[in-house]
Amino acid sequence: MAQSLVKPSVSKSKAIKVAVKYSLSYVRVSTKDQLDGSGIKRQEKAYQDWLKKNNDYENLDEFKDLGLSGRGKNSKAGALNKIIEKAEKGEIPFGTCLVVESMSRLSREIPKNSLELLLRIFNSGLTIAFTEYGGKVFDGKGNDPAWFQLLGGMMQASIEWQTKQERIVGSFDAVQENLENGKLDHFKGREKGTKHGLYPFWLNFDEKRKQFIVLEEEAEIVRKIFTMAETMGVKKIERTLKDQGIKNPIGFKTEWFTRNVIRHCILENRVVLGEKVFRGKTYFGIYPAIITPEQFNLVQKAKQARVTNTVPQSAHHKVVNLFQGSIFCGHCGGRIEVVGVKRLVCKEFNVKNSPKIEVEYFSLHCSVGRNQTSNICSVTNAATYKQLHNGIDNELAILEKIQNFRWAEFFTDEKHENDIQVEKDKRTRYLNERNKVSNQIEKYKTAEEQYFEQGEILPQNLREKKNQAIEKYDELTEKYNRANLDIQNLKRKKTGKSLEDDIKKRVKNFINKGRFDVQERFKFNSWLKEMGMAIQVDIYKQKQTRKTPHKNYAFHVGIGMFDFITGKYRGLDQSIEDLVALGVDKKQVLESEEKRLEDYKKMSLEEGYDVRFPRGKK
């Protein structure tokens, strides 16, 4: 028992030696629900009530294990272990009483382990009191009947834990059975005002209809993050979302999106594709998909490319290829890449002994020809992109071509936004249906394996059902791909003169204010893709020489033609100019353009290749 010297107010003549007894509180909750609920408050109140009844004790300290299991973690690494270690080292006065709500708060281990823990507490010099058992102070000495109560409490705490685990396992078994059968009965709708739950924050569950509902406002944030991830790293996305005032809808720990949330909960989370992983198995079509597999895979490749990218970056880490994803080779239709190198050159051209300076050369290469794939593209040399020391800035030249192009002649379809949305809805519907069929195919395969393992003959109807499901899957894949191509082509059609003015204004502002700002370059690159613009680079085989300097390249901008079947770039659309040159009225040409494209598309799908181009053309 701790001793302390105090001076009673009734006497100033002599210090009287009186005994002061200390107590400390131990609180434990194991789940997040208890963290938010009344578990902590209930235990704290029980301790305060105990102090009132035992007013000869003085509170020494309070310890808490929050979100920690009572199956040994708290006594080995938590606050409880810290209490015992302090007592063993003599840092806590001998005889201090450890006050706990119940044995289940102290330990849920098997009785043998709980008994060893209790003996360790007593051997450290502590006593113990359980408020649920009347709050009597127990020191473990003698033949105190309290031993029977404590042993009973140990048994009860362990049995409660085991029962709870069995109940959890049983509920997990029920969930797995539901998922195997495509049922969603175990899901519940969100309580009003909550965003966290057993499914993503962009979904809610309709318990009456037994189906998920996409929360469009939240889903649009996810789509925006994926779009940014095509050209931005996670750090830039985090900063951009904050700059735009876009907050984390869940808001559990922070109101803003963190890099971990963006990376792990969104960009790498296949739940956006409608998949759910449970007990190590993937189930398809459980959730509505909000991102296409193509965009998901594109983002993963872009992330990997940013990690392994070996292309030299400029000193200010700008987006080197401003037109990435919109610039193509005029010979083969392949992607045009920007490659940068540093070289030492004479500061003054053709001056003997001129001092050397380091400069950067940026060149445009066809990704196919550069890899020496000569049977597809013979363009192995490059075009100049930037040589600022020589006054060459072809990035600016391309921007000026975009600014001055006759966009009003091409952007003719006034209802294009509705058309695009219709195709997007169709694509999402096909994707969700395909995910469900994929889940059914996996069930048939599992059933087949079980028959094989048991040495039984595979039923004919099972094989037939699986084949029918595979055919259905292929059919939905074809519809999905067609919808994708429809969207790509529709995005390349906008509305007339007003949009042309907007484009010119957008490009002009970018040239004057945003071209050297990394965030603005990212945004401009994304905008080019959204608009469906194409830049074609014709690189000629002649090479520039010092004696006879000349350009070996030409740039063209306009609306790209993309293969109806493969989606590959096929060249700039010259059909309007060609028909006008033949004497056809331009207005008539524009009015018939949509109908002509529909006819070409229908014929192409029937033939299995794009009929606008000869079969042999690459």
**Both 434 and 470 in a single domain?**
yes
Residue 342 inside a domain? The answer is: yes
End-of-domain residue from the set 258, 279, 306: 306
pLDDT for res 440: 84
Active site residues: 30
pLDDT for res 50: 94
The number of folded domains in the chain is: 4
Indicate which CATH number applies to the domain containing 116.
3.40.50.1390
**Both 152 and 253 in a single domain?**
no
**Both 421 and 486 in a single domain?**
yes
> What whole-number distance in Å separates Cα of residue 145 and Cα of residue 541?
100
**Both 499 and 476 in a single domain?**
no
> What whole-number distance in Å separates Cα of residue 121 and Cα of residue 407?
82
Residue 197 inside a domain? The answer is: no
User: Which tens digit of pLDDT belongs to each residue from 568-610?
Assistant: 788 887 766 665 555 656 555 555 666 677 777 778 777 777 7
**Both 23 and 38 in a single domain?**
yes
Residue type at 10? V
Which one has a higher pLDDT value, 475 or 49?
A: 49
pLDDT for res 397: 93
Band (pLDDT 50/70/90 cuts) for residue 59 is very high
Please say whether the beta carbons of 347 and 356 come within 8 A.
yes
Please say whether the beta carbons of 113 and 104 come within 8 A.
no
**Both 439 and 369 in a single domain?**
no
Which one has a higher pLDDT value, 558 or 417?
A: 558
Residue 536 inside a domain? The answer is: yes
Segment 70-87 shows an average pLDDT of 77
- Going 46 to 51 to 54 to 60, the CA torsion angle's sign is positive
- 579 phi/psi in degrees, rounded to 5: -70, -40
Indicate which CATH number applies to the domain containing 229.
3.90.1750.20
Q: How many CB atoms lie within 10 A of CB 395?
A: 19
Strands 211-214, 276-278: pairing kind: unpaired
**Both 75 and 135 in a single domain?**
yes
**Both 255 and 378 in a single domain?**
no
**Both 334 and 426 in a single domain?**
no
pLDDT for res 128: 92
Only one residue has tokens 């209930």, namely: 42
> What whole-number distance in Å separates Cα of residue 376 and Cα of residue 36?
63
Domain that residue 82 falls in: 3-162
**Both 144 and 220 in a single domain?**
no
**Both 395 and 544 in a single domain?**
yes
**Both 386 and 526 in a single domain?**
yes
User: How far is CA 2 from each of CA 96, 115, 246, 294, rounded to the nearest angstrom?
Assistant: 8, 26, 57, 71
> What whole-number distance in Å separates Cα of residue 180 and Cα of residue 283?
8
pTM over 0.95, yes/no: no
User: Which tens digit of pLDDT belongs to each residue from 428-438?
Assistant: 888 888 888 88
Residue 100 inside a domain? The answer is: yes
Residue 188 inside a domain? The answer is: no
Residue 58 inside a domain? The answer is: yes
Residue 479 inside a domain? The answer is: yes
Residue 191 inside a domain? The answer is: no
